[in-house]
Amino acid sequence: MDYTHLGRSGLKVSRLCLGTMNFGPQTSEKDAFAIMDKALELGINFFDTANVYGWKTGEGITEKIVGKWFALGEGRREKVVIATKVYGRMGEWPNQSRLSARHIRDAVEGSLKRMKTDFIDLYQMHHIDRESPWEEVWQAFEALVQQGKVVYAGSSNFAGWHIAQAQETARARHFMGLASEQSLYNLAERMVELEVVPACRAYGLGLIPWSPLAGGMLGGALEKMEKGRRMAENVQKEIEKRRPQLEKYEAFCKVLGEKPADVALAWLLCNPVVTAPIIGPRTIEQLTGSLRALEIKFSEESLKTLDETWPGPGGEAPDAYAW
């Protein structure tokens, strides 16, 4: 396994991040335990979850599975860099969602209890909250860091200017601010290249791409499948819409002698701003197969072919749309 720093921080994490969103709804507790054990065996030390995963309001099903696994001991918690998130609705009352200082305080206590841990390595804001001022948000995070309950702060689904706003406010408070940003980023969805990627580079944030396979579309979508995320109606519609691109892409992967999923992950890992794509395996076989992406190296010609097949927004703003 290869390791890198989480953005400009001194924290070292694996180049692949284990996503746990399937744990509970699609992956049983027993299978989730086996996947997490295998991840550690393979050297993956970076796990990502969220308090809303499990998708039953307020229950934190996925965090509970992670917590039960931590409780098995044998150094599991000590080896893992655990990332979770705050923002989503955890109850029906007004202050049980978003990023008020009150909700951040309540949410972190809930996550700590469910995951049976004393601290969270990376506590991420799951979405921007336009109703909570940065002074309030950072005051809450500063208290959590001082109390030892949170080590690093991160964001998810932020725009480039949100990152700038957050970091400049943190700088004025002599606080580190964000260590990472988790964004939708893959060959088929490259809008973050306009402003989020440059903002991460400028402020030293590690970029953590979610949905690196575009819901399975980039994982060999034209192969016959009977189950999995790519069988969802919305993904099937996108596959039909993108069929010409997918045919070209999968043919190119065959020429390389690599699986489409591995090529998609390897392409993200070429970007120096990217810390670790989030892989969300349902099975151990899917997990172990992902490691091939760490070994793939592209020629300039191969990268050009991928850009032609999956064109981005044209570069960084404003050059992508102006002079």
Q: How far is CA 197 from CA 102, 121, 147, 180, 317, in A?
A: 31, 23, 32, 11, 10
Could you tell me the two tokens for 37? 């054990």
Structure tokens at 25: 């709804």
Q: What is the per-residue burial (b if ≥16 Cβ within 10 Å, else e) of 102-129?
A: ebbebbbebbbebbebebbbbbbbbbbb
What residues are annotated to the active site? 53
| Adjacent-strand bridge partners of 39 | none
Question: What is the separation of C-alpha 225 from the centre of its chain, rounded to a whole number of angstroms?
Answer: 25
- In whole angstroms, give the CA distance from residue 40 to residue 47: 10
- The answer to whether residues 51 and 110 touch, using CB atoms and an 8 Å cutoff, is yes
Strand partners, 3: 14
Write down the residue that tokens 């190296």 correspond to.
297
Amino acid at 296: I
For residue 165, what are the contacts with CB-CB under 8 A and spacing of at least 6?
Answer: 134
8-state DSSP, 186: B
Rounded CA-CA distance 162/81 in Å is 25
Residue (of 102, 163, 172, 161) closest to 137 by Cα position: 102
Length of the chain: 323
